[in-house]
Structure 1
Amino acid sequence: MAIEEPQFDVLAVEVYRKGLAQLLSAIDREGIENIRLIRGDALDVLEYLLPSGSLTAARVFFPDPWPKARHHKRRLLQPGTVALLSDRLRPGGTLHVATDHANYAQHIAEVGDNESTLRRLELDDPCIPVSVNRPTTKFEGKAHTVGSAINDFVWERL
Protein backbone atom coordinates (compact mmCIF):
# COMPACT_ATOMS: atom_id res chain seq x y z
CA MET A 1 0.00 0.00 0.00
CA ALA A 2 2.80 2.42 0.83
CA ILE A 3 4.43 1.73 -2.54
CA GLU A 4 1.17 2.56 -4.35
CA GLU A 5 0.77 5.83 -2.45
CA PRO A 6 4.15 7.55 -2.13
CA GLN A 7 2.40 10.88 -1.50
CA PHE A 8 1.21 9.58 1.90
CA ASP A 9 3.12 8.72 5.03
CA VAL A 10 1.94 5.33 6.26
CA LEU A 11 1.91 4.37 9.93
CA ALA A 12 1.74 0.61 10.51
CA VAL A 13 0.75 -0.57 13.97
CA GLU A 14 1.45 -4.19 14.82
CA VAL A 15 1.43 -5.91 18.17
CA TYR A 16 3.25 -9.07 17.08
CA ARG A 17 7.02 -9.17 16.64
CA LYS A 18 6.82 -11.65 13.75
CA GLY A 19 4.48 -9.32 11.85
CA LEU A 20 6.85 -6.40 12.35
CA ALA A 21 9.84 -8.49 11.26
CA GLN A 22 8.06 -9.46 8.04
CA LEU A 23 7.12 -5.85 7.38
CA LEU A 24 10.68 -4.65 8.06
CA SER A 25 11.98 -7.21 5.56
CA ALA A 26 9.52 -6.00 2.93
CA ILE A 27 10.43 -2.35 3.59
CA ASP A 28 14.13 -3.15 3.18
CA ARG A 29 13.63 -5.38 0.13
CA GLU A 30 11.36 -2.88 -1.67
CA GLY A 31 13.16 0.27 -0.55
CA ILE A 32 9.98 1.77 0.88
CA GLU A 33 10.59 5.18 2.44
CA ASN A 34 7.11 6.43 3.37
CA ILE A 35 6.25 3.96 6.11
CA ARG A 36 6.80 4.10 9.88
CA LEU A 37 6.24 1.25 12.33
CA ILE A 38 4.95 1.15 15.86
CA ARG A 39 4.92 -2.05 17.88
CA GLY A 40 1.98 -1.82 20.20
CA ASP A 41 -1.73 -1.92 20.70
CA ALA A 42 -3.67 0.02 18.07
CA LEU A 43 -6.09 1.41 20.66
CA ASP A 44 -3.24 2.85 22.71
CA VAL A 45 -1.71 4.40 19.60
CA LEU A 46 -5.04 5.95 18.61
CA GLU A 47 -5.84 7.22 22.08
CA TYR A 48 -2.46 8.53 23.22
CA LEU A 49 -0.26 9.17 20.18
CA LEU A 50 -2.48 10.51 17.42
CA PRO A 51 -4.33 13.82 17.68
CA SER A 52 -7.85 14.47 16.42
CA GLY A 53 -8.08 15.01 12.69
CA SER A 54 -4.55 13.75 12.00
CA LEU A 55 -5.28 10.84 9.65
CA THR A 56 -6.22 10.83 5.98
CA ALA A 57 -7.24 7.19 6.27
CA ALA A 58 -7.39 4.29 8.70
CA ARG A 59 -7.36 0.70 7.53
CA VAL A 60 -8.33 -2.33 9.59
CA PHE A 61 -7.93 -5.56 7.64
CA PHE A 62 -9.12 -8.88 9.00
CA PRO A 63 -9.33 -8.09 12.72
CA ASP A 64 -9.87 -11.08 14.99
CA PRO A 65 -13.61 -11.88 14.81
CA TRP A 66 -13.78 -13.47 18.26
CA PRO A 67 -16.58 -15.74 16.99
CA LYS A 68 -17.84 -17.08 20.33
CA ALA A 69 -20.64 -14.91 21.73
CA ARG A 70 -18.99 -14.67 25.14
CA HIS A 71 -15.90 -13.16 23.46
CA HIS A 72 -17.67 -10.55 21.29
CA LYS A 73 -16.71 -7.84 23.79
CA ARG A 74 -13.06 -8.41 22.75
CA ARG A 75 -13.70 -7.45 19.14
CA LEU A 76 -11.65 -4.46 18.06
CA LEU A 77 -14.43 -2.73 16.15
CA GLN A 78 -16.84 -1.70 18.88
CA PRO A 79 -18.77 1.60 18.93
CA GLY A 80 -16.17 3.32 21.11
CA THR A 81 -13.28 2.27 18.88
CA VAL A 82 -15.06 3.33 15.70
CA ALA A 83 -15.85 6.70 17.32
CA LEU A 84 -12.16 7.06 18.26
CA LEU A 85 -11.06 6.15 14.72
CA SER A 86 -13.53 8.67 13.32
CA ASP A 87 -12.22 11.37 15.65
CA ARG A 88 -8.66 10.76 14.44
CA LEU A 89 -9.71 11.08 10.78
CA ARG A 90 -9.66 14.48 9.15
CA PRO A 91 -12.94 15.58 7.48
CA GLY A 92 -13.13 13.63 4.23
CA GLY A 93 -10.80 10.94 5.58
CA THR A 94 -11.76 7.30 5.24
CA LEU A 95 -12.03 4.19 7.37
CA HIS A 96 -11.58 0.97 5.33
CA VAL A 97 -12.38 -2.33 7.02
CA ALA A 98 -12.22 -5.86 5.58
CA THR A 99 -13.33 -9.14 7.15
CA ASP A 100 -14.10 -12.67 6.01
CA HIS A 101 -16.33 -13.47 8.99
CA ALA A 102 -20.03 -13.05 8.09
CA ASN A 103 -21.27 -12.40 11.63
CA TYR A 104 -18.52 -9.89 12.33
CA ALA A 105 -19.26 -8.21 8.98
CA GLN A 106 -22.85 -7.58 10.12
CA HIS A 107 -21.57 -6.17 13.40
CA ILE A 108 -19.02 -3.95 11.64
CA ALA A 109 -21.65 -2.64 9.22
CA GLU A 110 -24.01 -1.76 12.08
CA VAL A 111 -21.33 -0.10 14.19
CA GLY A 112 -19.93 1.92 11.28
CA ASP A 113 -23.34 2.92 9.98
CA ASN A 114 -24.45 3.99 13.46
CA GLU A 115 -21.46 6.31 13.96
CA SER A 116 -22.97 9.74 13.30
CA THR A 117 -19.68 11.24 12.09
CA LEU A 118 -19.27 8.66 9.32
CA ARG A 119 -21.01 8.08 5.99
CA ARG A 120 -20.67 4.78 4.15
CA LEU A 121 -19.21 4.88 0.64
CA GLU A 122 -19.10 2.35 -2.17
CA LEU A 123 -15.64 0.93 -2.90
CA ASP A 124 -15.60 2.56 -6.33
CA ASP A 125 -16.60 6.03 -5.05
CA PRO A 126 -14.28 8.59 -6.68
CA CYS A 127 -14.16 10.77 -3.54
CA ILE A 128 -12.18 8.14 -1.58
CA PRO A 129 -8.81 9.91 -1.12
CA VAL A 130 -6.69 6.76 -0.84
CA SER A 131 -6.48 3.47 -2.68
CA VAL A 132 -8.90 0.75 -1.60
CA ASN A 133 -6.55 -1.91 -2.96
CA ARG A 134 -5.08 -4.00 -0.20
CA PRO A 135 -2.52 -6.75 0.01
CA THR A 136 -3.82 -10.29 0.40
CA THR A 137 -3.23 -11.26 4.01
CA LYS A 138 -2.77 -14.85 5.16
CA PHE A 139 -6.26 -14.62 6.70
CA GLU A 140 -7.76 -13.56 3.39
CA GLY A 141 -5.90 -16.38 1.63
CA LYS A 142 -7.38 -18.91 4.06
CA ALA A 143 -10.84 -17.39 3.54
CA HIS A 144 -10.54 -17.82 -0.23
CA THR A 145 -9.44 -21.43 0.25
CA VAL A 146 -12.57 -22.30 2.22
CA GLY A 147 -14.86 -20.18 0.04
CA SER A 148 -15.68 -17.43 2.56
CA ALA A 149 -16.89 -14.11 1.20
CA ILE A 150 -14.71 -11.06 1.80
CA ASN A 151 -16.61 -8.02 3.07
CA ASP A 152 -15.09 -4.58 2.53
CA PHE A 153 -16.52 -1.43 4.08
CA VAL A 154 -15.46 2.17 3.55
CA TRP A 155 -16.77 5.14 5.53
CA GLU A 156 -15.99 8.81 5.06
CA ARG A 157 -15.50 11.19 7.99
CA LEU A 158 -18.06 13.99 7.74
Structure 2
Amino acid sequence: MTDIQDSKNTTQEQAVQHRIKSFVVRAGRMTEGQIRAIETLGPRFMVNVEDLQPLDLDAIFGRSAPVVVEIGFGMGVSFVQMAKDNPDCNYLGIEVHPPGVGSCLKLIDENQLTNVRIIQHDAFDVITKCLKPESVDILQIFFPDPWPKKRHVKRRLINDEFVQLVRPLFKHGGQFRMATDWEDYANQMLDVMTRAEGYTNTSLDGTFIPRPEYRPVTKFESRGQRLGHGVWDLVFKRD
Protein backbone atom coordinates (compact mmCIF):
# COMPACT_ATOMS: atom_id res chain seq x y z
CA MET A 1 0.00 0.00 0.00
CA THR A 2 1.34 3.44 -0.93
CA ASP A 3 1.94 6.28 1.53
CA ILE A 4 -0.93 8.26 -0.02
CA GLN A 5 -3.31 5.32 0.46
CA ASP A 6 -2.15 4.88 4.07
CA SER A 7 -2.74 8.57 4.71
CA LYS A 8 -6.16 8.48 3.11
CA ASN A 9 -7.24 5.40 5.05
CA THR A 10 -6.13 6.92 8.37
CA THR A 11 -7.95 10.18 7.63
CA GLN A 12 -11.08 8.28 6.60
CA GLU A 13 -11.11 6.31 9.85
CA GLN A 14 -10.82 9.52 11.87
CA ALA A 15 -13.58 11.17 9.83
CA VAL A 16 -15.94 8.23 10.29
CA GLN A 17 -15.41 8.27 14.04
CA HIS A 18 -16.18 12.00 14.36
CA ARG A 19 -18.57 12.44 11.49
CA ILE A 20 -21.50 14.82 11.86
CA LYS A 21 -23.69 15.22 8.79
CA SER A 22 -23.41 18.63 7.18
CA PHE A 23 -26.72 18.36 5.34
CA VAL A 24 -30.36 17.51 5.90
CA VAL A 25 -32.37 15.98 3.07
CA ARG A 26 -35.37 18.28 2.84
CA ALA A 27 -38.64 16.94 1.56
CA GLY A 28 -39.01 19.51 -1.20
CA ARG A 29 -41.91 19.11 -3.63
CA MET A 30 -40.82 17.89 -7.03
CA THR A 31 -42.39 19.15 -10.22
CA GLU A 32 -43.63 16.77 -12.91
CA GLY A 33 -40.77 17.97 -15.12
CA GLN A 34 -38.17 17.12 -12.48
CA ILE A 35 -39.65 13.68 -11.91
CA ARG A 36 -39.77 13.03 -15.65
CA ALA A 37 -36.17 14.20 -16.05
CA ILE A 38 -34.93 11.70 -13.46
CA GLU A 39 -36.92 8.90 -15.08
CA THR A 40 -35.91 9.62 -18.68
CA LEU A 41 -32.50 11.31 -18.39
CA GLY A 42 -31.25 9.64 -15.22
CA PRO A 43 -30.14 6.43 -16.96
CA ARG A 44 -27.92 8.48 -19.26
CA PHE A 45 -26.46 11.11 -16.93
CA MET A 46 -26.67 9.68 -13.41
CA VAL A 47 -23.94 7.46 -11.95
CA ASN A 48 -25.04 4.61 -9.69
CA VAL A 49 -22.74 4.35 -6.68
CA GLU A 50 -24.86 2.13 -4.47
CA ASP A 51 -22.14 -0.52 -4.45
CA LEU A 52 -19.61 2.15 -3.30
CA GLN A 53 -16.87 0.87 -5.60
CA PRO A 54 -14.06 3.01 -7.10
CA LEU A 55 -15.19 4.82 -10.23
CA ASP A 56 -13.49 4.72 -13.62
CA LEU A 57 -14.13 8.34 -14.59
CA ASP A 58 -12.70 7.97 -18.09
CA ALA A 59 -15.17 5.17 -18.77
CA ILE A 60 -18.07 7.09 -17.22
CA PHE A 61 -17.48 10.12 -19.43
CA GLY A 62 -16.27 8.17 -22.43
CA ARG A 63 -13.06 10.17 -22.63
CA SER A 64 -10.03 11.33 -20.66
CA ALA A 65 -10.24 15.01 -19.67
CA PRO A 66 -9.68 17.26 -16.63
CA VAL A 67 -12.23 16.43 -13.94
CA VAL A 68 -14.21 19.06 -12.04
CA VAL A 69 -16.21 17.80 -9.06
CA GLU A 70 -18.84 19.97 -7.38
CA ILE A 71 -20.38 19.01 -4.05
CA GLY A 72 -23.88 20.38 -3.52
CA PHE A 73 -24.79 22.02 -6.84
CA GLY A 74 -28.28 22.99 -5.69
CA MET A 75 -30.60 23.39 -8.67
CA GLY A 76 -27.65 23.07 -11.03
CA VAL A 77 -27.86 26.45 -12.76
CA SER A 78 -24.27 27.62 -12.26
CA PHE A 79 -22.93 24.05 -12.41
CA VAL A 80 -24.40 23.46 -15.85
CA GLN A 81 -23.32 26.89 -17.07
CA MET A 82 -19.71 26.14 -16.09
CA ALA A 83 -19.87 22.81 -17.90
CA LYS A 84 -21.23 24.58 -20.97
CA ASP A 85 -18.48 27.22 -20.81
CA ASN A 86 -15.75 24.56 -20.45
CA PRO A 87 -16.54 21.70 -22.84
CA ASP A 88 -12.97 20.35 -22.58
CA CYS A 89 -13.56 19.40 -18.91
CA ASN A 90 -15.63 16.59 -17.40
CA TYR A 91 -18.04 17.81 -14.71
CA LEU A 92 -19.19 15.47 -11.94
CA GLY A 93 -21.87 16.88 -9.63
CA ILE A 94 -22.85 15.42 -6.26
CA GLU A 95 -26.25 16.37 -4.81
CA VAL A 96 -28.63 14.61 -2.42
CA HIS A 97 -31.81 16.65 -2.99
CA PRO A 98 -34.09 15.11 -5.65
CA PRO A 99 -35.58 18.43 -6.92
CA GLY A 100 -32.06 19.74 -7.55
CA VAL A 101 -31.07 16.57 -9.38
CA GLY A 102 -34.19 16.72 -11.56
CA SER A 103 -33.66 20.40 -12.32
CA CYS A 104 -30.01 19.84 -13.22
CA LEU A 105 -30.88 16.98 -15.55
CA LYS A 106 -33.36 19.20 -17.39
CA LEU A 107 -30.69 21.86 -17.85
CA ILE A 108 -28.18 19.31 -19.12
CA ASP A 109 -30.69 18.13 -21.71
CA GLU A 110 -31.75 21.64 -22.73
CA ASN A 111 -28.12 22.62 -23.31
CA GLN A 112 -27.32 19.32 -25.05
CA LEU A 113 -24.28 18.72 -22.87
CA THR A 114 -22.28 15.52 -22.93
CA ASN A 115 -19.60 16.43 -20.36
CA VAL A 116 -21.77 16.25 -17.21
CA ARG A 117 -22.62 13.37 -14.90
CA ILE A 118 -24.56 13.41 -11.60
CA ILE A 119 -24.31 11.35 -8.44
CA GLN A 120 -27.30 11.47 -6.10
CA HIS A 121 -25.67 10.24 -2.93
CA ASP A 122 -24.01 11.36 0.29
CA ALA A 123 -20.78 13.09 -0.77
CA PHE A 124 -18.94 11.56 2.19
CA ASP A 125 -19.40 8.07 0.76
CA VAL A 126 -18.43 9.20 -2.73
CA ILE A 127 -15.25 10.85 -1.48
CA THR A 128 -14.14 8.01 0.74
CA LYS A 129 -15.19 5.04 -1.40
CA CYS A 130 -15.73 6.03 -5.03
CA LEU A 131 -13.19 8.66 -6.07
CA LYS A 132 -9.66 7.42 -6.60
CA PRO A 133 -6.54 9.22 -5.33
CA GLU A 134 -5.25 11.92 -7.69
CA SER A 135 -8.34 11.73 -9.91
CA VAL A 136 -9.68 15.29 -9.43
CA ASP A 137 -8.35 18.46 -11.03
CA ILE A 138 -10.80 20.86 -9.37
CA LEU A 139 -13.12 20.44 -6.39
CA GLN A 140 -15.83 23.08 -5.99
CA ILE A 141 -18.00 23.83 -2.98
CA PHE A 142 -20.05 26.97 -3.52
CA PHE A 143 -22.41 28.38 -0.90
CA PRO A 144 -22.60 25.33 1.37
CA ASP A 145 -25.15 25.38 4.17
CA PRO A 146 -23.71 27.95 6.64
CA TRP A 147 -25.43 26.46 9.68
CA PRO A 148 -25.60 29.95 11.21
CA LYS A 149 -26.80 29.00 14.69
CA LYS A 150 -23.94 28.67 17.15
CA ARG A 151 -24.98 25.20 18.26
CA HIS A 152 -24.92 24.03 14.63
CA VAL A 153 -21.51 25.41 13.58
CA LYS A 154 -20.00 21.95 14.08
CA ARG A 155 -22.09 20.77 11.12
CA ARG A 156 -20.31 23.00 8.62
CA LEU A 157 -18.76 21.00 5.82
CA ILE A 158 -15.42 22.82 5.65
CA ASN A 159 -13.45 21.73 8.69
CA ASP A 160 -10.00 20.33 9.50
CA GLU A 161 -10.98 16.69 9.00
CA PHE A 162 -12.80 17.27 5.72
CA VAL A 163 -10.04 19.19 3.95
CA GLN A 164 -7.54 16.43 4.77
CA LEU A 165 -10.06 13.80 3.69
CA VAL A 166 -10.28 15.27 0.19
CA ARG A 167 -6.61 16.22 -0.24
CA PRO A 168 -5.50 12.83 -1.65
CA LEU A 169 -8.16 13.13 -4.37
CA PHE A 170 -6.43 16.09 -6.00
CA LYS A 171 -3.88 15.77 -8.71
CA HIS A 172 -0.76 17.71 -7.76
CA GLY A 173 -1.53 21.37 -8.36
CA GLY A 174 -5.27 20.66 -8.28
CA GLN A 175 -7.55 23.47 -7.11
CA PHE A 176 -9.95 23.55 -4.16
CA ARG A 177 -12.49 26.30 -4.93
CA MET A 178 -14.91 27.63 -2.29
CA ALA A 179 -17.37 30.48 -1.93
CA THR A 180 -19.81 31.64 0.75
CA ASP A 181 -21.96 34.66 1.48
CA TRP A 182 -21.58 34.24 5.26
CA GLU A 183 -18.61 36.26 6.50
CA ASP A 184 -18.21 34.17 9.65
CA TYR A 185 -18.07 30.99 7.59
CA ALA A 186 -15.68 32.63 5.12
CA ASN A 187 -13.25 33.42 7.93
CA GLN A 188 -13.58 29.87 9.25
CA MET A 189 -12.83 28.49 5.77
CA LEU A 190 -9.76 30.70 5.52
CA ASP A 191 -8.52 29.65 8.96
CA VAL A 192 -9.05 25.95 8.24
CA MET A 193 -7.36 26.06 4.84
CA THR A 194 -4.46 28.24 6.00
CA ARG A 195 -3.42 25.76 8.69
CA ALA A 196 -4.16 22.68 6.56
CA GLU A 197 -1.13 20.66 5.58
CA GLY A 198 -0.53 20.24 1.86
CA TYR A 199 -2.41 23.29 0.56
CA THR A 200 -1.27 26.71 -0.67
CA ASN A 201 -3.45 29.80 -0.93
CA THR A 202 -3.52 31.24 -4.46
CA SER A 203 -4.42 34.70 -3.13
CA LEU A 204 -1.52 37.14 -3.36
CA ASP A 205 -2.26 38.56 0.10
CA GLY A 206 -2.99 35.20 1.71
CA THR A 207 -6.70 35.88 2.20
CA PHE A 208 -9.57 35.86 -0.30
CA ILE A 209 -9.43 36.20 -4.08
CA PRO A 210 -11.39 38.70 -6.20
CA ARG A 211 -14.64 37.35 -7.59
CA PRO A 212 -13.56 34.77 -10.21
CA GLU A 213 -14.92 34.85 -13.74
CA TYR A 214 -15.35 31.06 -13.82
CA ARG A 215 -18.18 31.17 -11.27
CA PRO A 216 -21.46 32.36 -12.86
CA VAL A 217 -23.59 34.83 -10.93
CA THR A 218 -26.76 33.09 -9.79
CA LYS A 219 -30.13 34.75 -9.10
CA PHE A 220 -29.50 34.10 -5.41
CA GLU A 221 -26.17 35.91 -5.52
CA SER A 222 -27.56 38.79 -7.59
CA ARG A 223 -30.30 39.30 -5.03
CA GLY A 224 -27.71 39.31 -2.26
CA GLN A 225 -25.63 41.90 -4.09
CA ARG A 226 -28.66 44.19 -4.38
CA LEU A 227 -29.17 43.84 -0.64
CA GLY A 228 -25.53 44.63 0.05
CA HIS A 229 -24.48 41.13 1.01
CA GLY A 230 -20.85 40.16 0.50
CA VAL A 231 -19.46 37.01 -1.13
CA TRP A 232 -16.05 35.58 -0.29
CA ASP A 233 -14.09 33.30 -2.66
CA LEU A 234 -11.13 31.08 -1.84
CA VAL A 235 -8.89 29.00 -4.08
CA PHE A 236 -6.22 26.76 -2.60
CA LYS A 237 -3.92 24.43 -4.52
CA ARG A 238 -2.67 21.04 -3.47
CA ASP A 239 1.10 21.30 -3.10
Is the shorter-chain TM-score for this pair beyond 0.5, marking a shared fold? yes
Once residues 158 and 132 of structure 2 are traced to their aligned partners in structure 1, the CA distance between those partners, rounded to angstroms, is 19
Find out whether 1:140 has 2:221 as its counterpart: yes
Once residues 40 and 139 of structure 1 are traced to their aligned partners in structure 2, the CA distance between those partners, rounded to angstroms, is 24
Instruction: Determine the structure 2 residue equivalent to 1:85.
Output: 166
Instruction: Determine the structure 2 residue equivalent to 1:128.
Output: none
SS at match of 2:85: coil
Letter of the 1:122 counterpart: S
Instruction: Determine the structure 2 residue equivalent to 1:116.
Output: 197
Structure 1 residue 22, shift from structure 2 partner: 1.1
Structure 1 residue 153, shift from structure 2 partner: 0.1
Structure 1 residue 140, shift from structure 2 partner: 2.2
Structure 1 residue 135, shift from structure 2 partner: 2.6
Q: 1:59 to 1:51 in 2, by over 3 A?
A: same
Gaps of 5+ in 2: 1-81, 205-211
Find out whether 1:58 has 2:139 as its counterpart: yes
Structure 1 residue 139, shift from structure 2 partner: 4.0
Once residues 135 and 15 of structure 1 are traced to their aligned partners in structure 2, the CA distance between those partners, rounded to angstroms, is 22
Letter of the 1:97 counterpart: M
Query: What RMSD over aligned residues (CA atoms) do the two structures have, in Å?
Result: 1.6
Superposed CA offset, 1:70-128 (max 9, x none):
101110111111112222111010000000000000000011111111101039xxxxx
Instruction: Determine the structure 1 residue equivalent to 2:129.
Output: 48
Once residues 68 and 58 of structure 1 are traced to their aligned partners in structure 2, the CA distance between those partners, rounded to angstroms, is 27
Letter of the 1:14 counterpart: E
Structure 1 residue 156, shift from structure 2 partner: 0.4
Once residues 10 and 101 of structure 1 are traced to their aligned partners in structure 2, the CA distance between those partners, rounded to angstroms, is 26
Structure 1 residue 142, shift from structure 2 partner: 4.0
Once residues 7 and 41 of structure 1 are traced to their aligned partners in structure 2, the CA distance between those partners, rounded to angstroms, is 27
Alignment of 1:29-44 (within 5 A): 29-44=110-125
Letter of the 2:152 counterpart: H
Q: 1:41 to 1:136 in 2, by over 3 A?
A: farther
Gaps of 5+ in 1: 124-130
Once residues 199 and 125 of structure 2 are traced to their aligned partners in structure 1, the CA distance between those partners, rounded to angstroms, is 22
Once residues 213 and 168 of structure 2 are traced to their aligned partners in structure 1, the CA distance between those partners, rounded to angstroms, is 21
Once residues 119 and 87 of structure 1 are traced to their aligned partners in structure 2, the CA distance between those partners, rounded to angstroms, is 15
Letter of the 1:17 counterpart: P
Superposed CA offset, 1:122-157 (max 9, x none):
39xxxxxxx851133454234224211110000001
Q: Report which structure shows greater RCO (CA 8 Å, sep ≥6).
A: 1
Judging by fraction of residues, say which structure has more strand: 1
Compute the TM-score of the two structures, normalised by the length of structure 2.
0.60
Find out whether 1:26 has 2:107 as its counterpart: yes
Letter of the 2:120 counterpart: R
Give identity over the alignment, percent. Answer: 36
Judging by fraction of residues, say which structure has more helix: 2
- Checking the alignment, whether the CA contact within 8 Å between 1:43 and 1:81 is kept in structure 2 is no
SS at match of 2:197: coil
Letter of the 2:111 counterpart: E
